[in-house]
C-alpha cells in the first residue's frame, strides 16, 4: 500500500512554501537545491529522474505554470465600487433622491459609472495583456529523459526541478529555467532583457570541488542557465550527442515568473499627495460636523419634524465634502497622460506622473542612453615584440595585413548567422565587419580525429584581401563573462594548428599575458585612450599543443601564458541631444548621476564631455578594497588628474596643484567616482560613509544590475526623488525601484518601467519632469478650487439655515453642474511651461502658502456673504414676508400681487401656492446665491496658476471661454428680469441699485483675492525671507547632510586611507531591489 503523502504548504505572492518538519520552518519549493556541486548535478540528474521521484516532486512543487488568470469583471467592479469614495457618493445620491434633487444625483451617477467603467476597463485590459504575455509558455510539448526508461514526450506543466530536458534542433520556447549540462545553445533573451542580441550558453563544467555550483561559477552561473520565456534559436551538440539541460526552477520561481510577479505585486508608492488628500477630506468632514451640530440646533429649536432635521443635517455633509473631487483629479492625470502620449512617452502607472514633478536626481545609464547604441571602430594599435607599432585607423584605405591580430578579429567573437544576418554583440559585429570576412554557418565540418561536430567557419568574403588560408574553424567558445571581463575561442585554420584567441578588458588581458610580450608603455597608452573617452579592448593569443580535445580543456588552462597582440580602440559617441538635456537639468538644479557597466576612466570622460562634470570641478576616485585573508577593508580617496601629457603622471607634486585642489574642494566643486566593486565594499564595511559619498557621487562604473537597484534605493533613503533612465535591458531592477523609471526601449521588457519613451533619447526626461510639475500644480489648484467651492456653498447654506431657508434644487444644480463640473473638467487643460525653473512645486497639500491661500479666500467669501446677508436686511425696500415689495413700486401688476403678499412666506410653505413657489424665495437667498455663484468663478480664475510650472492661463482657451460664458450667464441672471426664469431659479426681483452693489462687492472680492494671491501666496522671495527669518531648514536628509559637510573642513580626505575594523554586514546577493535574473551586464563591461 502506498503511504499517503501529506505536506503543509502556504502560498505567498504565487510562491509555494512547504513546512520542513526537521528544520521547523517553511521552505521554498519549485527550485533545485542550491547546495549541489557541479559534479553532483551531472551525476545525480544527468540520467534523469525516475517516475516515482518525479511524482513525489510534482505533488510538492505543484505544476510548472505561470498562471495569471484574467480577473473577472465582477471582481474588479466590486473592488472599485467599495472604494470609500464611491461609498460616500452612494450615500450622497440616496440622500439627494430622498430630497427630490434628481438632476444632479443623476449627473453624479453617470459620472461615477463612467469613471468606474473606465478604471475597470483599464484594469481588465492590463490583466488580459499580462495573461497573454504568459499563457504561451504554459503548455509546450517537451522531451524528457527518464532514468531507466529512455526519452518520453510530455506537456511542460508536468516538469519538476531535477527533470532532464532534451533540447531538439530548431527554435523552442523554454517553459522553465534550466542548467545546460551538455552541448551549447544560442538564445534570444529579448523577452526578458529588451536586448535583441542572441546570447551563447555553454554547458556546466564537471568540476570536482566541494563548492556549490553557483559559488563555483561565481557571477557567471548565468552563462550556463537557460531562462524561462526565452527562445532557443540554435543548439550545437558536442561529441556526447544531444543537448541536455536539468530543470532548475519551475512556475513563478523562474526568471519570467519573477518578472510577472514584479508586475502583479509592485512596490507600494508612498506619495505625500495621496496621504494629504485623505487628511484634507477628513478636515472637510470635521468642518461638516460643526455645520451638522449647528443645523440640528437651529431646526430643532424651531420645532421642525425629526425627519426633516436629519435630512437637512446630512445634507450639510454632502455640501461640505465635494463628491466630484476624485473625478476632477483623475481628469487632470488623464489629460497629462494624453499629452505625454502625443510626445511619444507611454505610461503604465498614471499615479506616478505627479511624482515626476518632484524629481531632483536622475540616474542615467551610459551606453545607448547618453551615448550612441553602437560603437564605431576607431583604430587598432598592434603590438610586436613588446612594442606598440603604428596605429591603424579605420576606415582605412589599405586593409589589415594578414597576421595574428587579423585572425583574432576574425574569430574571437560569439556571432551567429540568424535569419540571414550576422547577429551578436554590436562590438563584435563592428570588429568582424572590419575584416571583410563572412561566416559560413553550414552544419557539420570534418575535423581530423574528432568526427563531425557543429562548428562555425569563417572565410574570406568577396571584398577581403587575399590570404594564404581558405578559412578558420571556431572549435570551442568560452563566452564573454562580466566577472572575468573577457571571452576566448579555440580556433583552427583549415589544415593548420589549433590556437586560442582572447579579447577583453585590457588590464585583464595584460595580466594573463606573458610579461615579456606586454609593451612597457602599456598603461600610459591605455590611460591616454581611455581618458579621451574611447572604449579600449585588449587582444591576445597562444598556440595549443596538438592532440588535445578542445572540449577537455578548462578555461584556466586556455587563458594563461598568452601573447599580447595589441589594443582595439572603439569610439562611443555621445548622442546629439545628451549635452543640451543635461545642461537643462543642471540649470533646473536637478542632479545627474551616471550608472554604467563600463570602465571608470571612459565613464568619467563621457561625464565630462556630456557636461555632468564641469571643467572646473575635481574628480575624486574612491577605491575600496577587501584586505586579503581578513574581514576588514580599506578605502582610499585619490584625485583623478587631468594631464594632457603623453606620460600619464598620476599627480603633479608641486604645492600649487595641491592648493588648487583644496580650493575646488572647499567650494564644494568635487565629484566622486567609484566602481561597483568599491560600492559593494562600502555598503558592507563603511556604511556610515555611504551617504557622504552619495551626496557628491556622480560616476558609478562597472555596476551590476543588482548594484544599480541598490544605488537607487540608497539615494531614496537620503530623501531624493530619484528618476532612472535606461535602455531597459540590465536596468530593469533600477527602473522599477526608482520613483520614475523611464525605459528607452520598444521591447516588452518595458513592462518593468512605469514610463517608456518611443524616441530613444533622453529628451523625454525634462519633458516628463515638466509635465509632472504641471500635473502636480494642477492637482493642487483642483484641491484648492474644490475646497473653496464646497466651503462657499456650505457657508451660504448655513447662513440661510439661520432663517430656516436654503438654496433651491435648481440653484444647487446650477452651481454643481453648470459651474463646478465644467470648470473641474476644463481647468486641467493648461499645458506645461516650456522652461524648467530651478525649484520644484510644493510636494504637500499642507504647505503654509497653500493653507494660507485657502484660509484667506474662505475668509473673503465668508465676509462677503455675511456682508450681503446683513446689508440686504437693512435696505428700505426689504420685507421678510413680502418677497415682491422691492419691485412693487416699479410694477403695475399691483393687483395681481396683493393676494400673494398677504399670504406671506409661511403661507406659501403651507402649500397655498405650491405650483409657483417652493418656499426658498427670499431676498437673502437671492443675494447669497448670486454672490456665492459668481464667487466660485472668481476663485477658479484666481487659483488657475500659470507660470512658472504651467503655461499662462490665457493659453487655455477652452477654460477662458467657459469662464466668460459662465460669467455672462451669471450676470444675465443678476440683471435679467424674466419672471419665468426667476421663479424656476427661485430668485426674486431686487432694485437695480442693489444688483449693482452686488457686482461691486464681487469686484472688490476679486481684486483683494487676486492681489493677495499674487503679492503674498505666489511671492517666492517673501517666503524665502520668512524661512530665513524663522531659521527654517529643509528636513530632507541630504540637505541636512550638505549643511554638516559644509562645516567639515576635513572632508573629503584626499590621499588618505581608512580601514574598517568591524566585521562586514552581509549584504544580500542581489543587494535588494528587483533584479532581472537573466541579464548580466555584458552591454558594456569591457
Here the cell at position 206 is 564537471
Name the burial class of residue 1068, with classes exposed (0-12), middle (13-18) and buried (19+) by CB atoms within 10 angstroms of its CB: exposed
Q: What is the dihedral of CA 671, 672, 676, 682, to 10 degrees?
A: -150
Contacts of 753 (CB under 8 A, 6+ apart): 724, 728, 732, 735, 736, 741, 742, 743
**Residue 980 to residues 7, 149, 893, 992, Cα–Cα distance (Å):** 80, 95, 15, 19
Question: How many CB atoms neighbour CB 70 within 10 A?
Answer: 13
Question: How many CB atoms neighbour CB 883 within 10 A?
Answer: 22
* 488 contacts 559 by C-beta, under 8 angstroms: yes
Q: What angle do CA 907, 909, 910 make, to 5 degrees?
A: 65
Q: Cα–Cα distance between 900 and 913 in angstroms, integer?
A: 8
Type and span of the H or E element at 493: strand 486-493
Name the burial class of residue 63, with classes exposed (0-12), middle (13-18) and buried (19+) by CB atoms within 10 angstroms of its CB: middle
The arrangement of strands across the sheet holding 15-20 comes to 9-12, 15-20, 25-28
Catalytic residue list contains 365: yes
Secondary structure of 531-545 as H, E, C letters:
HCCEEEEEEEEEECC
Nearest CA among 923, 814, 921, 935 for reference residue 863: 935
Nearest CA among 681, 742, 673 for reference residue 707: 681
Nearest CA among 906, 796, 806 for reference residue 309: 806
Q: Cα–Cα distance between 164 and 394 in angstroms, integer?
A: 49
Secondary structure of 235-271 as H, E, C letters:
EECCCCCCEEEEEEECHHHCHHHHHHHHHHCCCCCCC
Q: Cα–Cα distance between 855 and 633 in angstroms, integer?
A: 57
Helix (H, G, I), strand (E, B) or coil at 401: coil
Q: Cα–Cα distance between 111 and 34 in angstroms, integer?
A: 55
Sign of CA dihedral 983, 989, 992, 995: negative
**Radius of gyration in angstroms for the set of CA atoms belonging to the chain, rounded to a whole number:** 37
Q: What angle do CA 1005, 1010, 1011 make, to 5 degrees?
A: 100
Q: Which residues of 1054-1066 are buried (b: 16+ CB within 10 A; e: fewer)?
A: beeeeebeeebee
DSSP-assigned beta bridge partners for residue 571: 376, 534
Which among 365, 727, 816, 1080 is annotated as catalytic? Answer: 365
Sign of CA dihedral 12, 18, 21, 22: negative
Bridge-based pairing of strands 498-504 and 486-493 is antiparallel
Q: Cα–Cα distance between 817 and 868 in angstroms, integer?
A: 24
* 923 contacts 804 by C-beta, under 8 angstroms: no
* 818 contacts 969 by C-beta, under 8 angstroms: yes
* 251 contacts 754 by C-beta, under 8 angstroms: no
Q: Cα–Cα distance between 809 and 807 in angstroms, integer?
A: 7
Q: Give me the residue label for grid cell 530613444.
A: 760
DSSP-assigned beta bridge partners for residue 380: 392, 568
Residues noted as catalytic: 365
Amino acid at each position: 500500500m502506498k503511504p499517503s503523502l501529506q505536506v503543509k504548504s502556504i502560498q505567498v505572492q504565487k510562491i509555494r512554501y512547504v513546512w520542513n518538519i526537521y528544520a521547523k520552518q517553511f521552505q521554498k519549493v519549485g527550485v533545485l537545491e542550491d547546495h549541489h556541486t557541479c559534479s553532483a548535478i551531472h551525476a545525480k540528474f544527468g540520467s534523469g529522474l525516475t517516475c516515482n521521484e518525479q511524482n513525489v516532486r510534482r505533488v510538492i512543487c505543484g505544476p510548472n505554470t505561470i498562471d495569471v488568470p484574467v480577473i473577472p469583471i465582477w471582481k474588479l467592479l466590486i473592488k472599485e465600487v467599495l472604494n470609500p469614495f464611491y461609498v460616500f457618493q452612494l450615500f450622497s445620491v440616496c440622500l439627494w433622491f430622498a430630497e427630490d434633487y434628481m438632476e444632479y444625483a443623476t449627473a453624479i451617477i453617470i459620472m461615477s459609472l463612467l469613471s468606474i467603467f473606465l478604471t475597470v476597463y483599464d484594469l481588465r485590459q492590463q490583466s488580459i495583456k499580462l495573461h497573454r504575455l504568459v499563457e504561451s509558455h504554459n503548455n509546450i510539448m517537451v522531451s524528457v529523459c527518464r532514468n531507466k526508461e529512455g526519452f518520453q514526450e510530455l506537456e511542460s506543466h508536468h516538469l519538476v526541478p531535477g527533470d532532464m530536458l532534451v533540447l531538439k534542433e530548431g527554435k523552442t520556447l523554454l517553459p522553465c529555467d534550466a542548467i545546460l549540462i551538455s552541448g551549447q545553445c544560442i538564445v534570444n533573451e529579448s523577452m526578458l532583457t529588451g536586448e535583441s542580441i542572441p546570447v551563447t550558453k555553454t554547458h556546466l563544467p564537471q568540476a570536482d570541488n566541494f563548492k556549490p555550483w553557483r559559488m563555483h561559477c561565481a557571477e557567471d552561473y548565468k552563462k550556463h542557465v537557460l531562462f524561462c520565456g526565452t527562445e532557443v534559436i540554435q543548439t550545437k551538440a558536442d561529441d556526447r550527442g544531444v543537448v541536455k539541460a536539468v530543470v532548475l526552477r519551475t512556475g513563478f520561481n523562474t526568471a519570467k515568473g519573477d518578472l510577472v510577479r514584479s508586475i502583479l505585486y509592485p512596490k507600494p508608492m508612498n506619495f505625500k499627495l495621496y496621504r494629504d488628500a485623505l487628511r484634507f477630506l477628513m478636515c472637510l468632514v470635521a468642518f461638516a460636523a460643526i455645520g451638522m451640530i449647528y443645523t440640528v440646533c437651529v431646526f430643532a429649536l424651531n420645532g421642525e419634524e425629526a425627519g426633516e432635521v436629519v435630512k437637512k443635517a446630512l445634507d450639510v455633509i454632502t455640501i461640505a465634502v465635494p463628491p466630484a473631487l476624485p473625478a476632477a483629479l483623475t481628469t487632470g492625470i488623464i489629460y497629462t497622460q494624453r499629452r505625454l502620449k502625443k510626445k511619444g512617452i507611454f505610461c503604465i502607472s498614471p499615479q506616478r506622473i505627479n511624482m515626476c514633478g518632484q524629481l531632483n536626481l536622475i540616474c542615467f545609464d551610459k551606453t545607448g542612453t547618453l551615448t550612441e547604441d553602437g560603437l564605431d571602430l576607431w583604430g587598432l594599435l598592434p603590438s610586436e615584440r613588446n612594442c606598440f607599432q603604428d596605429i591603424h585607423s579605420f576606415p582605412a584605405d589599405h586593409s589589415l595585413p594578414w597576421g595574428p591580430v587579423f585572425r583574432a578579429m576574425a574569430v574571437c567573437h560569439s556571432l551567429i548567422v540568424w535569419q540571414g544576418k550576422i547577429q551578436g554583440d554590436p562590438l563584435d559585429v563592428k570588429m568582424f565587419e572590419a575584416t571583410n570576412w563572412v561566416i559560413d554557418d553550414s552544419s557539420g565540418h570534418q575535423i581530423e580525429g574528432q568526427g563531425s561536430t557543429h562548428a562555425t567557419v569563417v572565410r574570406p568574403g568577396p571584398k577581403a584581401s587575399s590570404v594564404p588560408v581558405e578559412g578558420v574553424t571556431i572549435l570551442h567558445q568560452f563566452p564573454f563573462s562580466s566577472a572575468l571581463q573577457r571571452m576566448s575561442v579555440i580556433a583552427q585554420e583549415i589544415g593548420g594548428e589549433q590556437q586560442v584567441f582572447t579579447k577583453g578588458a585590457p588590464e585583464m588581458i595584460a595580466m594573463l599575458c606573458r610579461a615579456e610580450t606586454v609593451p612597457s608603455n602599456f598603461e600610459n597608452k591605455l590611460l591616454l585612450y581611455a581618458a579621451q573617452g574611447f572604449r579600449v579592448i585588449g587582444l591576445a593569443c597562444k598556440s595549443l599543443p596538438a592532440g588535445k580535445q578542445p572540449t577537455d580543456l578548462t578555461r584556466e588552462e586556455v587563458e594563461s601564458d598568452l601573447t599580447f597582440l595589441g589594443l582595439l580602440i572603439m569610439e562611443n559617441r555621445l548622442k546629439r541631444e545628451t549635452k543640451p538635456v543635461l545642461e537643462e537639468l543642471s540649470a533646473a538644479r536637478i542632479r545627474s548621476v551616471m550608472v554604467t557597466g563600463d570602465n571608470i576612466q571612459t565613464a568619467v570622460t563621457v561625464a565630462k564631455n556630456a557636461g555632468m562634470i564641469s571643467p572646473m570641478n575635481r574628480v575624486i576616485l574612491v577605491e575600496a578594497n577587501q584586505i586579503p585573508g581578513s574581514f576588514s577593508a580599506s578605502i582610499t580617496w585619490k584625485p583623478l588628474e587631468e594631464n594632457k601629457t603623453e606620460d600619464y603622471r598620476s599627480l603633479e607634486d608641486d604645492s600649487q596643484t595641491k592648493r588648487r585642489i583644496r580650493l575646488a574642494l572647499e567650494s564644494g566643486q568635487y565629484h566622486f567616482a567609484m566602481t561597483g566593486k568599491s560600492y559593494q565594499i562600502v555598503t558592507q564595511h563603511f556604511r556610515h560613509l555611504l551617504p557622504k559619498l552619495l551626496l557628491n557621487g556622480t560616476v558609478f562604473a562597472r555596476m551590476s544590475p543588482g548594484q544599480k537597484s541598490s544605488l537607487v534605493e540608497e539615494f531614496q533613503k537620503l530623501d531624493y526623488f530619484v528618476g532612472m533612465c535606461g535602455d531597459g535591458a540590465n536596468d530593469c531592477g533600477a527602473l522599477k525601484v526608482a520613483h520614475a523609471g523611464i525605459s528607452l526601449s520598444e521591447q516588452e521588457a518595458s513592462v518593468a518601467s512605469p514610463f517608456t519613451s518611443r524616441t530613444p533619447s533622453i529628451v523625454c526626461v525634462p519633458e516628463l519632469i515638466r509635465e509632472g510639475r504641471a500635473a502636480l500644480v494642477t492637482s493642487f489648484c483642483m484641491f484648492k478650487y474644490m475646497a473653496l467651492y464646497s466651503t462657499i456653498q456650505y457657508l451660504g447654506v448655513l447662513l440661510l439655515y439661520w432663517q430656516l431657508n436654503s438654496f433651491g434644487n435648481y440653484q444647487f444644480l446650477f452651481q454643481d453642474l453648470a459651474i463646478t463640473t465644467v470648470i473641474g473638467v476644463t481647468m486641467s487643460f493648461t499645458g506645461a511651461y516650456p522652461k524648467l525653473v530651478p525649484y520644484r512645486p510644493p510636494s504637500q497639500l499642507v504647505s503654509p502658502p497653500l493653507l494660507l491661500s485657502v484660509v484667506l479666500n474662505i475668509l473673503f467669501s465668508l465676509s462677503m456673504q455675511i456682508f450681503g446677508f446683513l446689508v440686504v436686511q437693512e435696505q428700505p425696500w426689504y420685507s421678510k414676508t413680502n418677497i415682491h415689495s422691492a419691485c412693487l413700486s416699479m410694477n403695475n401688476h399691483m393687483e395681481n400681487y396683493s393676494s400673494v403678499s398677504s399670504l406671506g412666506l409661511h403661507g406659501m410653505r403651507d402649500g397655498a401656492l405650491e405650483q409657483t413657489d417652493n418656499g426658498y424665495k427670499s431676498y437673502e437667498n437671492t443675494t447669497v446665491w448670486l454672490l456665492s455663484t459668481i464667487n466660485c468663478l472668481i476663485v477658479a480664475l484666481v487659483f488657475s496658476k500659470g507660470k512658472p510650472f504651467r503655461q499662462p492661463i490665457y493659453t487655455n482657451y477652452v477654460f477662458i471661454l467657459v469662464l466668460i460664458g459662465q460669467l455672462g450667464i451669471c450676470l444675465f441672471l443678476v440683471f435679467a428680469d424674466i419672471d419665468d426664469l426667476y421663479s424656476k431659479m427661485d430668485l426674486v426681483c431686487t432694485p437695480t441699485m442693489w444688483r449693482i452693489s452686488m457686482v461691486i462687492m464681487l469686484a472688490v472680492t476679486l481684486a483683494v483675492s487676486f492681489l493677495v494671491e499674487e503679492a503674498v501666496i505666489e511671492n517666492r522671495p517673501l517666503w524665502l525671507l520668512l524661512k530665513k527669518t524663522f531659521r527654517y531648514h529643509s528636513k530632507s536628509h541630504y540637505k541636512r547632510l550638505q549643511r554638516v559637510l559644509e562645516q567639515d573642513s576635513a572632508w573629503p580626505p584626499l590621499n588618505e586611507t581608512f580601514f574598517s575594523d568591524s566585521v562586514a554586514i552581509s549584504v544580500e546577493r542581489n543587494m535588494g531591489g528587483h533584479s532581472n535574473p537573466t541579464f548580466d551586464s555584458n552591454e558594456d563591461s569591457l
